[in-house]
Amino acid sequence: MNTYPITTVIIARNAASTIERCIKSIRAAGEGWPILLVDDFSEDSTVDLAVSVAGKNISVVKPQDHIGTGNARQTGLEAVNTPYVVWLDADDTMRQERLEQLRAAFIETEADCIIHEVLLIDGVTESVIKSLDIPDFLFEPHGIAWQWERNWLPYLAPAVRVEVARRAGFNRTLTACEDYDHFLRLLKEGVRLLLIKEKLVDHYAYPQSLSRQLHHHKSQLKKIYTQPQVPRIGALCEPAQHWIMASRASYSENWEEVKDYVSNISPDEEEFAPPYGRSIGKLGMFLRGVVFLQEEAYSQAENVYTSLVEKTMDQADCWLNLSFALAGQNRWDAAEAAVHKACTLFPSYADAQKSLRGCARKSLSDMVFTSHPLRTFETRSDYSP
């Protein structure tokens, strides 16, 4: 048996300020664990620093072209020569016990993919921002099917059986969200998944981090959600299936498809959607309102969101969208009251704060509405404590 069957792959571009810390955390697990550095055309001393710290245990490869993270990850995956691969960002660190724990888990469970939890760290202050936990609903029967709707996992540093990972492959054209796309490809391969509720990686977030470039993420998600195949959701109830497809269509900004899917969801549908803490019927209504806002049918949108806030007074996103519908009809006092309610319910709600300022100026163009219901738990795209 290979004593060190897991290669840690690091994708790096101009990571001289963090690469030593990253590799030292791997070395702390033991000197025999192999490291593969994918140098994505760095213009600084990233490679030299990595080699000086890692010594003989590191190999360095370089993509043929600088395209982005998807291309770099595929390059690394093709170069691995151990049975398993684990990913680590160049500005992150792993816990000393991580590799040994993953090796034991692969052997004991015969899993193809192992995902654990992550601690989110402010890269500037090095203070803990929050814990990125695996939500409980993903452990439920068929719960993983919700991954087709959006990425609910802290899929930052997965460990994968190389044979299966290569069958799935990475989309070389993606410059963000390539890890989420890869996981969906693994699901199509029928991956045997193991989720571990333990934090084995510290993920450092910086102002320039890709995970904070939300507009870029949305553009890449749009590419992912245009893919037609969505296996495994058939295990969920029909309303949940319609919601997942409507949600994907909304991320792709295909509003005609959204209308088609939500038309199959009754507003009175009581089936619960665990990721959102509300019924699928209310979620369908929310997207109906979004379609009306997109079409500038503000009176119809007002009716939808008024009905929603009457049913559930504590949903900040519904109050925000109601304020936009009211502002679209030049009913500024009522719009301001609604957006104040959204800010009170969720003080760090960036869209609501922006709309509050736009409402004060009576400028609809300076306001925004939320095109998708808010999540009910912590994610790395929201950096407020």
Whole-number Cα distances in Å, 262 to 117, 143, 256, 267: 33, 21, 10, 9
Q: What does the pLDDT average to over 47-73?
A: 96
Query: Considering the domain boundaries, does residue 373 fall inside one?
Result: no
341 with 285, same domain: the answer is: yes
Q: Is residue 230 part of a domain?
A: no
Does pLDDT of 230 surpass 80? Answer: no
User: Which pLDDT value is given to residue 228?
Assistant: 63
According to the model, what pLDDT value does residue 210 have?
Answer: 63
- Given a contact cutoff of 8 angstroms between Cβ atoms, the answer to whether 239 and 269 are in contact is yes
Q: Which residues contact 142 (CB under 8 A, 6 or more apart)?
A: 232, 235, 236
Q: What is the CATH number of the domain that holds 200?
A: 3.90.550.10
Say if residue 306 is in the same domain as residue 346: yes
Q: Is the pLDDT at 213 greater than 90, yes or no?
A: no
31/144 same-domain check: yes
Residue 44 included in any domain? yes
Work out the average pLDDT over 309-319.
93
Q: Residue 111 pLDDT > 50, yes or no? A: yes
Question: Where are the strands (E) in the chain, listed by range?
Answer: 6-12, 35-39, 58-61, 84-87, 93-94, 113-122, 128-132, 159-161, 193-205, 272-273, 278-279
The structure tokens listed for 25 are 């955390």
Residues 45 and 143 in one domain: yes
The pLDDT of residue 285 is above 60: yes
Within a domain: 371? no
pLDDT of residue 157: 87
Residue 41: predicted pLDDT: 97
Residue type, 356: L
DSSP SS3 for 369:
coil
Query: Which residue range(s) make up the domain with 319?
Result: 237-366
- What pLDDT does residue 225 have? 87
Domain identity same for 143 and 99: yes
Residue 52 has pLDDT above 80, yes or no: yes
Q: How many other CB atoms are there within 10 angstroms of residue 62's CB atom?
A: 15
Identify which has the larger pLDDT, 153 or 312: 153
- Answer with the one of 176, 194, 225 that is the final residue of a domain: 225
Residue-wise burial string across 349-385, b where 16 or more C-beta atoms lie within 10 A, e elsewhere: bebbeebbebbeeeebeebbbbbebbeebbbbebbee
Indicate whether 298 and 173 sit together in one domain. Answer: no
Where is average pLDDT lowest: 4-18, 69-83, 103-117, 219-233?
219-233
CATH number of the domain bearing residue 357? 1.25.40.10
Residue 105's pLDDT is 97
**Domain for residue 92, yes or no?**
yes
Residues 269 and 212 in one domain: no
Asked whether residue 1 is domain-assigned, the answer is no
pLDDT band at 385 (very low <50, low <70, confident <90, very high): very low
Q: Please give the average per-residue pLDDT across 56-84, as a whole number.
A: 96
> How wide is the angle at C-alpha 380 spanned by C-alphas 376 and 384, nearest 5°?
75
pLDDT digits (tens, 9 = 90+) for 315-328: 999 999 999 999 99
Instruction: Tell me how far CA of residue 225 lies from CA of 118, 218, 242, 287, in angstroms.
Output: 25, 10, 15, 17
For the segment 145-170, the average pLDDT, to the nearest whole number, is: 93
Q: How many structural domains comprise the chain?
A: 2
Q: Judge if 256 and 332 occupy the same domain.
A: yes
CA distances from 158 to 45, 135, 182, 332 (A): 27, 16, 11, 48
10 Å CB burial of residue 95 (0-12, 13-18, 19+) is middle
Find, among 40, 58, 205, the residue nearest to 123 by Cα: 205
Give the residues across from 37 on adjacent strands: 10, 60
303 CB neighbour count, 10 Å cutoff: 16
pLDDT at 1: 47
Which residues, in sequence order, are CB contacts of 208 under 8 Å at separation 6+?
none
Give the pLDDT of residue 211.
61
Strand partners of residue 116 = 196
- Cα separation, 332 vs 334, in Å, equals 5
Which band of pLDDT confidence, cut at 50, 70 and 90, is reported for residue 55?
confident
- Among 177, 202, 225, the domain-final residue is 225
Say if residue 196 is in the same domain as residue 49.
yes
**Average pLDDT across the chain, whole number:** 92
